[in-house]
Amino acid sequence: MKKYFSQKICIISAALTIPSTALLCWLVMRVLYQQMPEYGEFVTGYTTWTAYYKQGDMTLANLYIGGLLGFFLLYAVILTLLSKKWSWLCGSFDRTWEYTAKQRESYAWFEDACFLILFSEFLLALICFVIEAFFGMQPWLEKLFPILQCITLIGVGIFTNFVRLCGKDLAKQEQIRRQLKKYMEWEQWILPLSFLMLWNYEYLRDGAVIRLYQSTKMETTVLVLVVFCTLWNRAFFRKHRADLRPAISLSTFLSLAVFASWTLPNGTISGTPLEMYHYGEIAEPLHELLNYGVVPYIDTMPIHGVCDYFQAAVGKLLFDGTYASIEPAMIVGCVLIAMATAAVFYYFIDNKLLGLLCVLLFSLFGDKYYYVRWAFALPFILIVFSKKMRKNFPMLLWSWTFISILSIAWNSSIGGACALATLPMILWECFHEKGWKIFFRLNEKEVRKKILPWYIPLLILGICFIPMFFAILRYIVENSAAILETTGDILKEELASRYVWYATFGFGFSLLAALIFPADKEGGEKKLAWYALLFLLIFNLVIVRYTFVRTQFGERGIIVTTICSLFLVLLIFLPSLEKRFSLWTAGMMAFLFLATVLTRGSNLLTMPAKVFERDTISDDYTYATVEETGIPGLGDIYITETQKKELMNLNTLVNDLCRDKKVVDMTNQLSHYNILNRENLMPFSSTYNTNNKVMQTRAIEVLEEKQPELIIVAPAWQHDSGSLSTRNYYMYQYIQKHYTPCKYENIIFLTNDDEVRAQFEPAYEEFAELTHIEDLKMLPKAWGNEYLKEEETEPLNVDWSLLDTNAIELGEDQYVLNAEENYFLYTFPENQDGSEIPFLRITVRDESGSEEPLKFQGVVYFMDEGKGVREAHRFTFDGSEGSFLIPLTTSPWWSYSDQIQSMLLDFVHRSLEGKQVSIETEFETLKPLEEQH
């Protein structure tokens, strides 16, 4: 910010920017959201059924960021020009002063008091934990615990106040400080016992306490951690024995990170297909790597990145590696990430109190499933922007390059956003600040000693990363083809609560604070402020392409808002306040920190009570052992009888009756692969993730090459209200032409093998009921656009004729519709093979001259020979004036029939009563691949 942008002008500009940006977004989006989405492929997602204009969400995100920056600069320039007449606009609202020795001493007392209170609370919890470990569950202790907490808080408060009062007596000051230091060190010696929580998983079943997930490997690891922290404390406190103030150990940060991030894992498998899908995403990739040598990004595409391997690796290394161990592995994985983040806070944040509070409050700022993807985000920012790194350019460049490689491999979207957002600082330090000159001194021995041991391994890592990097780029290009339509959700529906509003748009407050902060700053502080502003601007411009696609009621947005707020609080505002007090800086810091605590912070009062956490296992679950199920990959676990039977049936089918056949699972329950120890032949893990034309074309190539004899399709998970035939339209067209449905018990599968067909019952009806989507809602409208008509389809010459209608015919496909239900019955001169007729296009135009928009509900019936409307199958759709494409071959009742004799088009619920319309119908088919674009 130039000097002529005074702080008053910046603050007033920011205040005016908020309503101006909100008004701009409202005016633009209320028009934009009325548009129809323009699909470039036959894809579906959650937004397809309502034809929600998902592109509008991305436009809104960019408009919001651009509006904040644009309006701020506009108002700042206008106010600067006005300041020549109105001098009161010059200067600052701020009040600043230097800290006195007494103020710094008071803060030191406050900091020690906070540490003592925190340590005492968690020490009390550990004492209760040890009591229950020796004497079993004590319900009275859990009930008494809140009272003990209050007594502890009051006692510590009295003691710390006594310390402060006695500290005024110089004769007693040193003795009191020594005593306080002794208490705090004694507490820190005990805190590593919190690691024992990682092997204690207790549940209630029929009134009795049972322990699950017992693992010698996990218990050994916990003991090693306790011993390590004890030895660390011994060395650390010896090193600081001469200090008057209590020293805070790294082991304390690590121990409290366990408290902050540990939760009791589920003691059961819920058995829902959605859970089997999500858990499969984190279990299947490592299973493929270890058992079949499938390398990430080279042989397969891990959907979220290398992070998908982490929690399964924890389960393999610390538990038994079965599907049952995924639950505790997810928890322990989050704890390990929280510990690593705590170590970063310890070493790179000078203010230990605020660093420890961040560990306790924000160690798990996402749930155990999504949190892992963000593991590198906050450590990346804390390390690269830390004072230690910025003072040493070779280490700054090294750390940025090293962490960028790791974080992009971990999750390309989040890691790439962090890497790009910090790049301006690296380039400025390299070229403008002449940081590159150090590399021209490699002829000096001392310089070589400092640089080469770090950069040679980095060079090797970078070379090894190149193939993975290009594979990641290819995947991003492929996956982004229709990402909004296939994985997006409806932001407008979610903005119904203040939490979601703040979670989604809260990062704007950080951006405005970063715009205000550079005013009246000088030297290195101003440069750091500019780095922060550029980081927030670039980071948010990039990351909205991840967070605004699938918003999930603010669960992704709140993480971004939290990261942006903590970045400013810890790395920009805090270092400035440590030099001198600034009222505005303190106010902005307090607002961002408190807002983050209220929206995403953990409850520090209830956190110690985690030591009493036990879950009750319902009678709906039964304990299934490997001996009973015959499935080693499942493990010993509580599971519903239905889910157990389903897995046993599936295991019998693929590992017994068809053990020599290749299998592809299209139920989206990815966990089946590692539970049944089967190879995943598909390149994009699941049909849900094989969501666009490019991906499905590659999947078809794999199916043609591998020729799997079995494709499992049920029990299945519905794909954002769709099915296999609509979610994976292109791939399904191949499947329905080469595979037929069969069943074994409750397992429905498709096969191309005559031997298998002879062995099992056909399942046409069951497969059709599973796959046929009757109510297409707005999908025909979304698929009926002109682009798809020009690029993807061509007319199909099918002989048929209008047999009967209750509408008044005017000729030239024009009709007057006077009935409550207006029908058009068409017939074929010869029975048709449904698989040869993919689409029916219906075009409706209003010829009545009415200004009222045309809206109706349409129904398309199709009947086999000898069947009437009562026995027909149908599609329903929501219509308006325009063209609609009915995807006939998405229904197995249509595509597997060669006896289709007639069709009925019906407009119901008086939706077109009294209207004069033109109705045109036409069959279409997909263009040959070489003619498509």
pLDDT in tens, 794-836: 999 999 999 999 999 988 889 999 888 999 999 999 999 999 9
Rounded CA gap, 382 and 570, in Å? 8
Q: How does pLDDT run across 603-616, given as a tens digit for each residue?
A: 999 999 999 988 99
Which residue blocks in 240-376 are alpha helix, DSSP H?
Answer: 250-261, 273-292, 307-318, 326-348, 352-362
268-269/637-640 β-pairing? parallel
Residue ending a domain, among 713, 744, 771, is 771
Q: Both 844 and 922 in a single domain? A: yes
Residue with tokens 């004694």: 186
Q: Given the structure tokens 């059924």, which residue do they identify?
A: 49
Q: Are residues 410 and 449 in the same domain?
A: yes
Nearest CA to 483 among 547, 563, 393?
547
Distance set, CA 816 to CA 819, 826, 876 (Å): 9, 18, 22
Phi-psi region of 761 (alpha: psi -120 to 50; beta: other; left: phi over 0): beta
How confident is the model over 887-930, as pLDDT tens digits?
A: 999 999 999 999 999 999 999 988 888 889 999 999 999 988 66
Looking at every residue in the chain, the average pLDDT score rounds to 90
Q: Is residue 522 part of a domain?
A: no
Q: What is the pLDDT of residue 44?
A: 92
The residues near 18 (Cβ < 8 Å, ≥ 6 apart) are 508, 512
**pLDDT digits over 374-431, tens only?**
999 999 999 999 999 998 999 999 999 999 999 999 999 999 999 999 999 999 999 8
Q: How far apart are CA 359 and CA 346, in angstroms?
A: 9
pLDDT at 734 over 70: yes
- The 3-class SS string of 414-461 reads HHHHHHHHHHHHHHHHHHHCCHHHHHHHCCCHHHHHHHHHHHHHHHHH
Q: Tell me the H-state helices in 495-621.
A: 498-505, 507-516, 523-547, 557-567, 574-579, 583-600
Q: Are residues 736 and 797 in the same domain?
A: no
Which residues are CB-neighbours of 257 under 8 A, at least 6 positions away?
335, 338, 339, 341, 342, 359, 363
pLDDT of residue 52: 93
Residue owning tokens 């007494």 = 102
In a domain, 406, yes or no: yes
How crowded is the C-beta side of 806, counted as CA atoms within 13 Å?
Answer: 14
Clarify whether residues 664 and 763 are in a common domain. Answer: yes
- CA–CA distance, 450 with 689 (Å, rounded to integer): 46
Q: Where is pLDDT greater, at 567 or 171?
A: 567
Rounded to whole angstroms, the Cα distance separating 121 from 106 reads 23
CA atoms within 13 A on the CB side of 329: 23
Report, in angstroms and rounded to the nearest whole number, the Rg of the chain calculated over CA atoms: 32
In a domain, 236, yes or no: no
| The pLDDT value given to residue 168 | 60
Of the three residues 39, 74, 95, the one that is the final residue of a domain is 95
Please list, residue by residue across 168-188, b when 16 or more beta carbons sit within 10 angstroms of its beta carbon and e when fewer do. eeeeeeeebbeebbebbbebb
pLDDT of residue 2: 46
Q: What is the pLDDT of residue 531?
A: 95
Q: What is the residue type of 708?
A: P
Distance, in Å, from the CA atom of 534 to the CA atom of 539, rounded to the nearest integer, reads 8
Q: What is the extent of the structural domain holding 72? A: 7-95
pLDDT for residue 593: 95
Please, what sign has the CA dihedral across residues 310, 314, 320, 324? negative
**763 and 783 assigned to the same domain:** no
In a domain, 561, yes or no: no
Kindly report, residue by residue over 625-655, the tens digit of the pLDDT. Answer: 999 999 999 999 999 998 999 999 999 999 9
φ, ψ at 863 (rounded to 5°): -130, 140
Q: What is the pLDDT of residue 171?
A: 63
Average pLDDT over residues 153-164: 82
Closest to 98 in 3D by CA, of 588, 522, 576, 517: 576
Q: Which residue has the tokens 């997602």?
A: 45
DSSP-assigned letter for residue 100: P
* Domain identity same for 767 and 896: no
d(CA 247, CA 237): 7
CB contact at 8 A, 257 and 359: yes
As beta bridge partners, residue 615 has: 203
DSSP 8-state class, residue 271: -
pLDDT digits (tens, 9 = 90+) for 438-494: 888 888 888 888 899 999 999 999 998 988 888 888 888 777 767 888 888 888 888
The pLDDT assigned to 367 comes to 67
Q: Provide the number of structural domains found in the chain.
A: 4
Q: How far apart are CA 823 and CA 908, in angstroms?
A: 8
What CATH number is given to the structural domain containing 891?
Answer: 2.60.120.260
Tell me how crowded residue 582 is: count the other CB atoms within 10 A of its CB: 22
Mean pLDDT of 717-728: 85
Condensed to tens digits (0 to 9), the pLDDT of residues 222-250 reads: 999 999 999 999 999 999 888 878 899 99
Q: Rounded distance, CA 89 to CA 8, Å? A: 6
DSSP-derived pairing of the beta strands 615-616 and 202-205: parallel
Q: What are phi and psi of 841, to 5 degrees?
A: -100, 130
Nearest to 539 by CA among 13, 63, 60, 65: 65
Whether residue 728 is found in the same domain as residue 805: no
Query: Does any domain span residue 408?
Result: yes
User: Looking at the predicted structure, is the pLDDT value of residue 64 above 70?
Assistant: yes
Please state the rounded mean pLDDT for residues 81-88. 83
- 673: exposed, middle or buried (C-beta count within 10 Å: 0-12, 13-18, 19+)? buried
Q: Give the β-pairing of 740-744 and 747-751.
A: antiparallel
Assess whether 695 and 812 both reside in one domain. no
Give the 3-state secondary structure of residue 929.
helix
Residues 6 or more apart whose Cβ sits within 8 Å of residue 725: 732, 736, 771, 772, 773, 887, 889, 890, 891, 892
Q: Check: CB of residue 501 under 8 Å from CB of residue 26.
A: no
Structure confidence at residue 396 (pLDDT): 94
**Residue 111 resides in a domain:** no
The answer to whether 323 and 672 are in contact (CB under 8 A) is no
Query: What 3-state DSSP class applies to 262?
Result: coil
CA-closest candidate to residue 713, choices 685, 681, 692, 735: 735
What is the rounded CA–CA span in Å between residue 891 and residue 773? 7
User: Measured in Å, how far apart are the chain's first and last C-alpha atoms?
Assistant: 48
Same domain for 822 and 679, yes or no, is: no
Q: Distance between CA 932 and CA 519 in Å, rounded?
A: 55
Give yes or no: residues 670 and 758 share one domain: yes
Give a yes or no: residue 681 inside a domain. yes
Q: Are 328 and 319 in contact (CB under 8 A)?
A: yes
CA 573/CA 595 separation, integer angstroms: 16
Structure tokens, 815: 């009709």
894 and 783 assigned to the same domain = yes
**Predicted confidence (pLDDT) at residue 506 exceeds the cutoff of 80:** yes
Strands 710-714 vs 663-665: parallel, antiparallel or unpaired: parallel
| Full-model pTM | 0.92
Q: Are 407 and 465 contacting, i.e. CB atoms less than 8 angstroms apart?
A: no
Q: Do residue 835 and residue 921 come from a single domain?
A: yes
Torsion of CA 632, 638, 642, 646, to 10 degrees: -10
- The Cα 135–Cα 21 span in angstroms is 61
597 φ, ψ (degrees, to nearest 5): -65, -45
Tens of pLDDT along 650-688? 999 999 999 999 999 999 899 999 999 999 999 888 888
Instruction: Return d(Cα 708, Cα 738) in angstroms, integer.
Output: 11
Domain boundary, last residue among 429, 458, 487: 458
Confidence of residue 873 (pLDDT cuts 50, 70, 90): very high
Contact 37, 52 (CB under 8 A): yes
Query: Chain-centre distance of CA 510, in angstroms?
Result: 21
**Exposed / middle / buried, residue 797 (Cβ in 10 Å: 0-12, 13-18, 19+):** exposed
In a domain, 113, yes or no: no
* CA nearest to 694, candidates 730, 670, 726, 666: 730
The helix (H) or strand (E) run that includes residue 705 is helix 693-706
Residue with tokens 């780095």: 531
Average pLDDT, integer, range 312-339: 93
**pLDDT tens for each residue of 128-145:** 999 988 887 788 888 999
For residue 711, pLDDT beyond 90:
yes
All residues at 6 or more sequence positions from 635 whose CB lies less than 8 Å from its CB, including other chains: 320, 322, 323, 324, 325, 626
What's the CA dihedral at 603, 608, 612, 618 to 10 degrees? 20
Beta-bridge partner residues of 916 = 816
pLDDT tens for 213-225 read: 999 999 999 999 9
